[in-house]
């Protein structure tokens, strides 16, 4: 297992394409200037040892060496031991609505991004609690199993969008049923399910399913995003707006937040409903609820004794740069005899 100590230095790799462009420009300029001075045949006699291949090879050595030095600044660390750690916490599963209606922009930037903000900031408030993520539309799908890796949870969260589900709709009961099988620790008595949606549920049995999962010991809380006035569902191509979703009659579909549905789900499971249009409101409320919950002890395995590996990258990088210094632009005698790259022709 490894981790990167200073990943911000990856931005330095942006200098490599700049160097390549400058090299190509200088090469083009030299060729152009040489043509003005003499024809190619005469140039080959005046400077018979000139080698374009050696110039390219020097550039490759330099760029690869520079890349290794940049990686040394990032400082990859390798975990050498896997140890069992006892931690205390609760299990929190987020069920994120990724139906097309969540793309409505009646709340900035849109409902889906607002929901992601709420989940991400809530995860930041959690301590050693375990988190899992479910996405749903017409059906529910596991996005991330329950884990203590909060960074991975936030990374997977960013990839959630309507395109990764096979059927559209808003079936909260599907998310409830999947969540009921999600908790993998039978000894964990504090289990939380947080549903973030606009509430456009199309299933009549949702409240009954919510009550059933509450009977299994799962505390269900709902967060509504969007406005009750609603807004159209944008259709975009490569990020550019090309229109809005229309119904069979050709009328623009207006999607509205349905707080009554989300409130009903929360009430049926003895939970609470929160307005999510202001991010801090549900985040603070959920943080307080989970913070006051009794924490159960559980075991998790993690890598420890991370050791710096930057010295390997420094060594290789400096070696390549030294080789670049001793590599000349002129042809070498043995390579000239072999004429491997057909430079004599």
* CA torsion through residues 13, 15, 18, 24, sign: negative
* pLDDT level of residue 336 (50, 70, 90 thresholds): low
Burial of 200 (0-12, 13-18, 19+ CB in 10 A): buried
Q: How far apart are CA 212 and CA 273, in angstroms?
A: 18
> Exposed, middle or buried: residue 280 (CB in 10 Å: 0-12, 13-18, 19+)?
exposed
DSSP state for residue 252 in the 8-state scheme: B
Q: What is the pLDDT of residue 50?
A: 63
- What pLDDT was estimated at residue 48? 57
* Confidence (pLDDT) at 58: 86
Using DSSP's 3-state secondary structure scheme, residue 133 falls into strand
Mean pLDDT of 69-83: 78
What is the model's pLDDT at position 341?
Answer: 47
pLDDT band for position 202 (cuts 50, 70, 90): low
Predicted pLDDT of residue 270:
87
Tell whether the model's pLDDT for residue 82 goes beyond 50: yes
Mean pLDDT across 132-136: 95
Give ranges for CATH 3.40.50.410 in the chain.
Answer: 88-296
In degrees, rounded to 5, the angle at the alpha carbon of residue 201 between the alpha carbons of residues 165 and 281 is 90
> Cα–Cα–Cα angle for 236, 239, 242, nearest 5°?
35
pLDDT of residue 200: 84
Give the residue, 36 or 57, on which the prediction is more confident. 57
pTM value > 0.75: no
Which residue carries 């660390």 as its tokens?
A: 77
pLDDT 10s digits, 274-320: 999 999 999 999 999 998 887 776 666 555 566 778 888 899 999 99
pLDDT of residue 326: 80
Residue-level pLDDT at 109 = 92
**Whose CA is closest to 280, among 145, 147, 165, 120?**
120
Q: How confident is the model at residue 273 (pLDDT cuts 50, 70, 90)?
A: very high
Which tokens go with 59?
Answer: 């550039």
Tens-place pLDDT, residues 318-328: 999 898 888 76
Give yes or no for a contact between 90 and 82, defined as CB atoms under 8 angstroms apart. no
Question: Between 47 and 34, where is the model more confident?
Answer: 34
Across residues 149-173, what is the average pLDDT? 88
pLDDT band at 334 (very low <50, low <70, confident <90, very high): very low
> Looking at residue 4, what is its pLDDT?
79
Q: Residue 170: is its pLDDT beyond 70?
A: yes
Q: What is the CATH number of domain 88-296?
A: 3.40.50.410
Task: Supply the pLDDT for residue 184.
Answer: 77
Query: Rounded to 5 degrees, what are φ and ψ at 79?
Result: -80, 130
pLDDT in tens, 203-226: 778 889 999 999 988 999 999 999
pLDDT band at 254 (very low <50, low <70, confident <90, very high): very high
């Amino acid at each position: 297992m490894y981790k990167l100590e200073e990943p911000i230095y990856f931005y330095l790799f942006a200098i490599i394409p700049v160097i390549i462009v400058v090299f190509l420009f200088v090469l083009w300029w030299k060729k152009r200037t040489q043509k003005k001075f003499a024809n190619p045949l005469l140039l080959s006699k005046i400077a018979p040892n000139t080698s374009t291949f050696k110039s390219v090879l020097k550039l490759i050595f330099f760029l690869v060496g520079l890349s290794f030095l940049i990686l040394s600044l990032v400082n990859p660390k390798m975990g050498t031991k896997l140890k069992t750690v006892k931690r205390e916490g609760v299990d929190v599963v987020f069920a994120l609505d990724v139906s097309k209606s969540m793309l409505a922009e009646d709340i900035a930037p849109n409902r889906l991004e607002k929901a992601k903000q709420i989940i991400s900031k809530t995860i930041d408030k959690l301590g050693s609690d375990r988190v899992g993520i479910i996405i749903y539309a017409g059906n529910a799908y596991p996005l991330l199993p329950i884990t203590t890796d909060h960074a991975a949870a936030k990374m997977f969260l960013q990839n959630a969008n309507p395109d990764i589900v096979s059927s559209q709709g808003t079936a909260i009961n599907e998310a409830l049923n999947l969540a009921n099988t999600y908790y993998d620790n039978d000894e964990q008595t504090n289990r939380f399910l947080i549903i973030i949606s606009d509430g456009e549920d199309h299933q009549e049995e949702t409240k009954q399913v919510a009550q059933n999962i509450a009977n299994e010991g799962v505390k269900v809380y709902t967060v509504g995003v969007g406005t009750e006035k609603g807004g159209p569902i944008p259709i975009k191509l490569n990020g550019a707006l090309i229109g809005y979703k229309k119904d069979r009659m050709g009328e623009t579909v207006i999607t509205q937040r349905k707080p009554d549905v989300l409130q009903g789900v929360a009430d049926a499971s003895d939970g609470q409903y929160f307005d999510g249009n202001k991010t801090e409101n549900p985040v603070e409320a959920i943080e307080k609820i989970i913070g006051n919950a009794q924490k159960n002890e559980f075991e998790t395995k993690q890598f420890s004794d991370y050791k710096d590996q930057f010295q390997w990258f420094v060594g290789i990088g400096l070696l390549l740069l030294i080789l670049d210094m001793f590599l000349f632009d002129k042809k070498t005698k043995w390579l000239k005899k072999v004429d491997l790259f057909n430079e004599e022709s």
